[in-house]
Structure 1
């Protein structure tokens, strides 16, 4: 196509010179000349994710470095992908004989200071406690939509004994979706609160022509007021409800396995 452009431009130049050199040709030349040219664009699948970026859940225009991501990074580089899944901790929960709600500590991320040579170091005085979030990227180009669900196991003792805290429920609230993508393409199905159980619970679904690009699915942005000497803030939006009558073992760590599923065709209407 470059050759075609050169030929047409040369023709235009020759015609112009002809006008300048031979005024008698002016009566045979139209007042305007229209030429056509083409461009070639080959669209490749969005699978090369070497430049994958991680965004702040409350400000998608800001980016996080890999070493500062508050969750588990998915090393896959598919064009439809869960980039980040959150990790929750409820350290500091005390045993009680009554129903209790325990709240997850908010992830803490540090700002990084640039150094010569392109390296960085953590700024220990600059940090933010942010929302737990899931990052979704849809770079397929088909704009066909997707949906995200979550399910969870029982709250089991980490020592492998099989002991569990019966009746414990993990609850998410204040769920939002943010992106640098125009808000008119925001996923239209968003459950603002869910209770995690053994069945898939729908968090968010993008219909056709929604959810393109990278989205931070934030699990709320409210925090509990804590003592100024408390090392971490706790979020109101990630809550573990534990019945008072449930058996609990002192100094035991309990674990719940969460399964996040991203489907390429939304089943929700």
Structure 2
């Protein structure tokens, strides 16, 4: 029994001495730093389809991509359609406002007038810049006077909607009064210089508040968007038919260093 008791006492003594030594050599640590990390890569097909980000939040609309299945990393996700309605044949020079594009409300699907816009998404992660251009073909029909000679479209006013936090990285819009001539050179409508245009950008034509007001005006049958206009000379022969044209939108990764072209 004595042997067991002595052994126990010796063990306790050793523990106390060791604890005392640790107290003497250790220091209090109340702040340390560690590393955190995240790596990003360019978006691609495996990451799913790009979604249109509407430039206006009211009304709340849901807009499909121009080409279903668009995945990036540098893509035109949406482009404007231009319908100038039904007009009376005239021998006077005439300018016609575009009929406002209609988009479905997210909750009900009801179609409402909405601003026109071209929407680009850049998820390359290179900040290399890009240039969005548009060109116009002749307005033609299958009738005797099959070309609207002298017709031209004017992009009267525009603005940029950029969805990045730093607005200094927003691209530039074209100058007011940019003219599209049938079979003429492509014109830049939105340009991101190097260091600009990452994520989602739109060039927008029209004032949504004005469109909303026109919708509620009982005297207005067709809501027009006067930010885009078609001009046709009175001397151009016009048949009683529908004339159609093609707008070609092209996005390049080598923007003009001078930005979008003027009128």
SS for the counterpart of 1:184 is helix
Work out the CA distance in 1 between the residues paired with 2:57 and 2:122.
19
CA RMSD for the aligned pairs?
2.9
Q: Offset at 1:32?
A: 2.5
Deviations 1:149-188 (A, max 9, x none): 111111111x287820100011112111113212222114
Q: How does 1:165-244 map onto structure 2 within 5 Å?
A: 165-182=148-165, 183-188=167-172, 190-197=174-181, 198-221=184-207, 228=218, 230-244=220-234
Are 1:26 and 2:30 counterparts? no
Are 1:148 and 2:132 counterparts? yes
Work out the CA distance in 2 between the residues paired with 1:46 and 1:101.
43
* 1:81 alignment counterpart: 75
Query: Residues 75 and 231 of structure 1: is their aligned pair in 2 closer, same or farther, counting only changes over 3 Å?
Result: farther
SS for the counterpart of 1:214 is strand
Q: Is the 8 A contact 1:90 1:105 kept in 2?
A: yes
**Aligned to 2:246, which of 257, 260, 263?**
257
Q: Offset at 1:86?
A: 1.5
Q: Offset at 1:33?
A: 6.6
Query: Residues 200 and 60 of structure 1: is their aligned pair in 2 closer, same or farther, counting only changes over 3 Å?
Result: farther
Q: Offset at 1:104?
A: 1.1
SS for the counterpart of 1:73 is coil
Q: Offset at 1:140?
A: 0.6
* 1:96 alignment counterpart: 90
Extract unaligned runs of 5+ from structure 2.
Answer: 1-14, 259-263
* 2:3 alignment counterpart: none
Q: TM-score, structure 1 length as denominator?
A: 0.76
Extract unaligned runs of 5+ from structure 1.
Answer: 1-17, 114-120
SS for the counterpart of 2:21 is helix
Deviating runs (4+, > 3 A) in structure 1?
33-42, 59-63, 72-75, 222-227
* 1:107 alignment counterpart: 101
Work out the CA distance in 1 between the residues paired with 2:41 and 2:237.
55
Query: Residues 41 and 61 of structure 1: is their aligned pair in 2 closer, same or farther, counting only changes over 3 Å?
Result: farther
Between Structure 1 and Structure 2, how many residues are aligned?
Answer: 234
Work out the CA distance in 2 between the residues paired with 1:264 and 1:202.
13
Structure number with higher strand proportion? 1
